[in-house]
Every structure is written in C-alpha cells, then in structure tokens.
Structure 1
Amino acid sequence: MTTSKRSYHHGDLRNALARAAAHLAATGGPDAVTIRGAAREVGVTPTAAYRHFENQADLLEAARSLAMDGMVAAMADYLAEVPTDGDPVALALERLRSTGRGYIRFAIEEPGVFRTCFTGGLREGGEG
C-alpha cells in the first residue's frame, strides 16, 4: 500500500487519512499510528486531520477497520480455492483449514497490520 501526498483528493480527507494510518500501521504497527503522522503522509496539517478524527484512538479505529478488511481478504483468497462440491464434512474441514492458512499468511506477511487488527477495544453493539 503506497500513500503519498499525491493520493489525497480534496473532499476525501477522512479516507485519505485512514489509508495513511493503515500505511503507518503496516510499517510500524499500531503504535506508529498518530494524527501527526497520518497528516504528514497525506500532506495536510494535524489541525485538518482533527476535523475528521477526534483523537488518535479514533484514527487507530479507522486503521484497524482497514486492517481487518485486509485480513478478511487474505482468508477469502484461500477460501475461494476450496471446491464447492463433495463430502460436506471434508469440505467444512477444508474451509476451516483454508481460512486458517489465510489468517496465518496475513499474520506473517503483514505483521504490523495484523497487530493493528487486534489493538484497541471492540466496538459496542457487536459491530465489526
């Protein structure tokens, strides 16, 4: 994932900051996600970033959401390789194995993003 000043388009600052935060997480884990760092990545002032994110925890939640999307996509890649017909029990076991392979591959290939997936509190109400 490459984030730079060129990736920011006026009117989409919140998403640009979230992508920048995800990039910071990929390179340095959840501790690297800061308002100032994301603002610097996008090429805006921290004050502009605070218009979209109340605090660092709010920005980290946005990065965590993108990280979870990446982890789900990695698991889905492996899951898509499982045949759709055959013995239901064997297929269920293969789906479980495939999901686990995707999870582990993601953890190994994207350690900072993986750690970000499991940082902070879970949202209330059973969301995400």
Structure 2
Amino acid sequence: MTKNTERDKKDKKDQKTQYHHGDLRAALVQAAGEILTNEGPDALSLRGVAARAGVSHSAPYRHFTDRRALLSAVASEGFRELAHRQRSHSNDATMNLTEVGRSYLQFALEHSAMYRLMFMSDILEANPDPDIARMSREAFETLRQAINALLPDCHHTGALCIMMWSQLHGLAQMLLETRLRDWMRDGVDDDAMIEAACTTLPETIKHAASVLAAKATARQGLSG
C-alpha cells in the first residue's frame, strides 16, 4: 500500500468522523472544555482533545493550527456563556443589576478552570483572538445595559461598568484563590459574601455615579 493510499484512507476516515459529529469544531471545543474542567489547562493538547472527541489525532488540525488556537476557542466559549448568564434577569432594574452580579460570581465559582483561563492566565496573551475580544465585549455590554436600566440619564456608564466588573472580578479572584482567610471572614461563608456584595451593588453604583457627576461638574466649573 502506497503512502498516498494510506493518506487517502485516513482523510476519508476523518471526513466520516466529522460527518458523524455534525460539527467537528464544536465537538473538539466541548472535549477541550471537559478536559479543562476535570484536569486543568496543562492537560490540554490537540492529541488529547482528539482522543476524547473520538476522532483521529490529525482531525483537530482542520480547525486549530496549534494548542494556543484551541485554548483561544475554549476561552471564547467561556465569554459567550458568561454573556448569556448576565443577560437581563428582571424588569426591575435594581433586582436585575443584583442578579447580573450574582450570575457573574456564580459562573466564576462553578467554572473556576474556565474562569482562570479567561481572566487569570497568560496563555492567550501572545496571540489575541478576535473572537475572544468580540465575546468579552458582549459580556461587558450586558453590564452596560444593566447599569443603563438602573441609571438611564447617567453619562458615565463606561466608567461604572469598569468599576462594577473590577469589583466582581476582584471578589471572584479572591474566593477562587482562597486568599480570604478564615480570620478575615469572621465565619462568613462564600454564599453570604456573594449575597452581601450583589445586594449592595445597585446602591454602590448609584453612589459612584453621583461622585463622577459631581467631579465632572466641578471640572466644567473650573474650565468655564
């Protein structure tokens, strides 16, 4: 049997596998997400993902040039899920903002490996993926919409979004890294801390908006 014949047979097998999955890329990303959750990012490889998806070891190269491209696709799916979770929860603007914050923190704790890949890892920095940028902007936009609903006349929504995301991210990171020692928490568990942070979030945002508005007015007075 010639090498060309062997290659043709292997390609046909890969094509059948792709047809069986319906969407090979989605199957590979799903398999990578499962490995990430169960074993961590160090265990992710194109060969390992192919084995878990039940395809030949060459099949992933149809969609991903290397491991970094695969990780980028997985992180993009993480942002997609985060944006989905943060979309409007309630017609009541105050309650909605509280729920948006809660959904963010719950996502971080329920999908800790994914969250670390999205926000805390330098794996993706050397090769920024446009899809990650697009999906992270969509997640950011859900915060903007929630704040706009709470404060429709505010002119500093962008700054408030950054503040809100920073507060949520800071708490999520501290909880995940177990840096909040028992002696710092006075016996308060994670759920209670999340509830306190999210319940007070609307008033925190309102107060921040008033401070920003006052600063802006003061600057205008000085420039006038």
- Return the TM-score normalized by structure 1: 0.71
Gaps of 5+ in 2: 1-18, 136-224
Matched with 1:50 is 61
Letter in 2 for 1:19: Q
CA distance in 2, matches of 1:103, 1:10: 31
> In the alignment, which residue of structure 2 is the partner of 1:39?
50
Give a deviation string over 1:12-58, Cα, whole Å, max 9, x none: 21221111111112223333322111101111222121222100011
Instruction: Give me the whole-angstrom Cα distance separating, in 1, the residues matched to 2:130 and 2:63.
Output: 21
- Misfit runs of 4+, over 4 Å: none
Contact kept, 8 Å, 1:25 with 1:63, in 2: the verdict is no
Residue equivalent to 2:109: 108
Tell me how far 1:10 sits from its aligned partner. 4.6
Q: 2:27 aligns with which of 16, 27, 41?
A: 16
Q: State the shift of 1:124 in Å.
A: 4.8
Tell whether 2:50 aligns with 1:66. Answer: no
Provide the C-alpha distance between the structure 2 equivalents of 1:9 and 1:109, rounded to a whole number of angstroms.
Answer: 31
User: Which structure shows the higher helix fraction?
Assistant: 2
Conservation of the 8 A alpha-carbon contact between 1:68 and 1:117: yes
User: What is the RMSD of the two structures over their aligned residues, measured on CA atoms?
Assistant: 2.4
Specify the structure having the higher radius of gyration (Cα): 2
Output one character per residue of 1:31-90: Cα deviation in whole Å (capped at 9) or x when no partner: 3322111101111222121222100011111111112222223333xx41x2x25xxxxx
Letter of the 1:37 counterpart? G
Partner Cα separation in structure 1 for residue 42 and residue 97 of structure 2: 31
Relative distance call for 1:99 and 1:10 in structure 2 (3 A) is closer
Contact 1:25 1:113 in 2 (8 A): yes
Larger RCO, structures 1/2 (Cα 8 Å, 6+ apart): 1
- Alignment partners' CA distance in 1, 2:106 and 2:48: 28
Alignment of 1:84-95 (within 5 A): 84=91, 91=93, 93-95=94-96
